[in-house]
A and B are shown apart, each in its own frame.
Chain A
Amino acid sequence: MKRFLIAGMALTTLASVAVAQSFREPTFPATLNNGQPIELTYWSWVPNMDKQAALFTQKYPNVKIKVENLGGGQSGTYPKLQTAIKAGSGGPDVAQVEFGYIPFFASTGGLVDIGKLLPANARSFFPAWTWAQVSPDGKSVFGVPQDTGPFAMIYRKDIFDKYGVKVPTTWDEYAAAGKALYDKSGGKVKIGNFFSTFAPWFTALVWAGGGQMWSVEGDGYKQTLNNAVSKQVANYWGDLIKKGYVSTLPAFSADFWNAVSAGQVATSMEAAWGTGSFAGSLAKNPGEGALYRVAPLPQWKKGQRLTTGNWGGSTAVVTKQAKNPQVAATFALWLMTSKTSLVAGWNGAGLFPAATSGLGLPELAEPSRDPAKFFGGQNVAAIYGQASKSVNTNFAWSPWAPTVDASFQKQMDRAVKGEITFEAAIDAWQEETVAKAKADGYNVK
């Protein structure tokens, strides 16, 4: 028995040596917590995260990870996380937080600055822009980048084929295709869906167009939600909604998935992890996946260099309630940089690795595993990889993200109902959010 174990360990070591040649990952300690048993609680809403985290226990048998899924971000995990931070107890050791919410949670004072707990070269395993997002002040490090959400377009190939419409590559073509699908289907098929209850979705489109919403000026912030790109994007979609080419079903609702599945929505602008959502939500219908494909995000100008935005993308933060911050930080780093974990994250949830080495993993292109398998074997990682390299990397966030989201929903609802124009809604969004942030004590212009 013992001999088997030794042989097994030898094999594992050999395997990791072989991998190390093509894949760069940090050096991890041989033991954690002096080999004493410890259990970490990890709050994450990534599908199949329990399986991915269990791989860490295979490496360090004394560290157990309890994964708890409390629901997506702002509508699930965040309210509970910040309540636990305020209460000073009941929180997890490690938690999933999106890039855009790092400043918000940093300002609650509940996160550990893990800069000193990670190896000195930790940042070298990530693209500079993702590291800038977890270290907004350039000094403290509040999280380890997990995945990015480069934006691309998921579309129903069968619908475009059926009506003989070309898959659009620019927004002009997209609008024309919208009209064609609408006319040819008698209004049944909408080309896309506007996620009027998800500010980060809209933000990604503005991001793709080069718009900047927040910047630091002195010891205060400047917010420009109503920048020119923002208005251009809002007017463009508002026009399509008015004409009936685009629906406004709430994102991730049963209504939305039902309409997509029924062929009533021909495209959806989705982040890389959206491929996992599609595979997860629609795989129940046999053969349906083969109908979907991914194409680069439509561009404003024909033939321009591809530029795109980012929706979500998450990090793992360590809370001040962590039993052993060192173990927690090591777990977070391992989860986001080790090959074993990154492959599991891609296959289990379409997590597009933030780690630089992760982008080149051949496993991401494997057509026999999800999410590629769901998309008819298409190499979706290649499209998102290209998108990832085309993300405007200077994008910064504000700490009042929840206010931004709530106000966006309110103003967009008015615009969708036709009470105000989309452009006016964007102005109202800016105005309302600045007023609220000021009332909450932020120095913002």
Chain B
Amino acid sequence: MKERSIIPYLFLAPFMLAFFLFFVAPVLYSVYLSFLIKKRTGTFGVATDVFGGFSNYIRAFNDSDFLASFGHIVVFGIIQIPIMLALAAIIALILDQVTGPLGRFFRSAIYIPYTIPSVIAGLLWGFLYSRNLSPVNYALTALGQEPFNFLSPLPVLLFSIGNIVTWTWTGYNAITLYANLQTISRELYEAAKVDGATGWHVIRYIKLPLMRPALLLTFIFSIIGTMQIFSEPFVLRGIGFIPINITPNTYLYQIAAQDANYSYAAALAIIVAVVTFAFSGFFLRMVNRSNV
């Protein structure tokens, strides 16, 4: 009897162990780090970490570079996420209609960008965006125009990054939505047809409402993904100046990996996580409420 009650926990143990080691422990360590500040003695002394209370958090809320990074990412998300999801939904609806080898081909083709590592993708796009070597600018100069600067001003830069993100993730989201569409019983369509529904009616009154859970899922994932954008702007630095606070994560990188201020970076990371959590929770709630 006793043995039996232990067994489930034994099965769970490997997961719990890994979960604790790789998820819970680092989070706890970050929380601990975030309360430390650097104490320096003399001019060339080694800095020591001492308890600093909430001073890292206070600093964060007064750090205009950090706060601005949220502004960038919110503007980015408001424009990029709807465009990407609308595209993904359209592609999913089309894929759902197309059968045969052509359908299979496009299903794979649309997914390919997602399988390319984002650093490689960033390098490829970086080539398209570079001042002299970009084919776009090559054409412009040949036509006697000034080369276009893809990295500046800020809205253009956000657009350029958005391009890369959309290119990478539209296929992934489309496949998720497509899988959802495939689960809809075909009998529903037949019944609709018998009732005289047109193709548009089927999409508007059957497919879209039934896609809702999947759309919501991709939407939440997109919000989280947007908050974590890092490698695209980071790789683009090779071709020109990218503000270090273009996203919260690039700014975090500067603080941790360049300035070596790990405790301040930990505080920033926790703030980013809380904001992400709040954003996703807020939208989830809003959508659920309108559902009722």
Contact = CB atoms under 8 A, between A and B. Distances in A.
Interface of A: 74-75, 78-79, 82-83, 86, 103-104, 106-109, 136-137, 140, 196-197, 216, 219-221, 249-250, 253-255, 258-259, 399-400, 402-403, 405-406, 409-410, 412-413, 417, 436, 439-443
B37 A413 contact: no
B244 A82 contact: no
B240 A440 contact: no
Contacts of A249: 131-132
Interface in B218-268: 237-241, 243-244, 253-254, 256-262, 264
A219 B152 CA distance: 42
B58 to A, nearest CB: 11
A405 B46 CA distance: 22
Contacts of A219: 41-43
Contacts, number: 100
B47 A74 contact: no
A196 B46 contact: no
Interface in B148-182: 152-153
Contacts of A399: 44
B133 interface: yes
Contact of B257 (A82, A107, A137): A82
B100 interface: no
6 contacts: A254-B133, A259-B132, A410-B241, A410-B243, A413-B241, A440-B261
A82 B43 CA distance: 19
B254 A406 contact: yes
B46 A79 contact: no
A443 B153 CA distance: 36
Nearest to A249: B131
Closest 3 CB pairs of A and B: A109-B46, A79-B257, A402-B258
B47 A441 contact: yes
Contacts of A221: 43
B131 A107 contact: no
B258 A74 contact: yes
Nearest to B260: A82
Contacts of B46: 106-109
Chain B interface, >50% SS class:
loop
Which of A86, A255, A442 has most chain B Cβ within 10 Å? Answer: A255
Contacts of B241: 196-197, 250, 409-410, 412-413
B47 A107 contact: yes
Interface of B: 37-47, 59, 127, 130-133, 152-153, 237-241, 243-244, 253-254, 256-262, 264
Nearest to B152: A417
Contacts of B59: 439
Nearest to A219: B42
A108 B47 contact: yes
Nearest to A216: B43
A442 B259 contact: no
Contacts of A78: 258
A259 B257 CA distance: 32
A86 B200 CA distance: 60
Nearest to A104: B260
Interface of A is mostly: helix
Contact of B130 (A197, A255, A436, A439): A255
Nearest to B48: A109
A258 B133 contact: yes
B138 to A, nearest CB: 11
B243 to A, nearest CB: 7
Contact of A108 (B127, B238, B244, B260): B260
A216 B38 CA distance: 20
Contacts of B153: 417
A403 B260 CA distance: 10
Given A254-B130, A258-B132, A75 B260 contact: no
A250 B126 CA distance: 13
Q: Identify the interface centre among A74, A86, A405, A439: most chain B CB within 10 Å of its CB.
A: A439
Nearest to B45: A107
Contacts of B244: 406, 409-410
Contact of A86 (B45, B243, B262): B262
B254 A107 contact: no
Which of B39, B253, B259, B262 has the most chain A CB atoms inside 10 A of its CB? B259
A107 B262 CA distance: 14
A399 B237 CA distance: 24
A413 B243 CA distance: 9
Nearest to B65: A410
A110 B141 CA distance: 51
B258 A109 contact: no
Contacts of A136: 43-44
A172 B187 CA distance: 84
A255 B133 contact: yes
Contacts of B39: 441
Contact of A250 (B240, B257, B260): B240
Nearest to B127: A254
B43 A109 contact: no
Q: Which of B37, B38, B258 has the most CB of A within 10 A?
A: B258
Contacts of A255: 130-133, 239-240
Contacts of B262: 86
A104 B240 CA distance: 26
A443 B40 CA distance: 8
Nearest to A102: B44
A415 B54 CA distance: 36
Contacts of B239: 250, 253-255
Nearest to B259: A402
Contacts of A436: 259
A436 B259 CA distance: 10
Contacts of B238: 250, 253
A107 B38 CA distance: 11
A441 B130 contact: no
A436 B260 CA distance: 13
A79 B44 contact: no
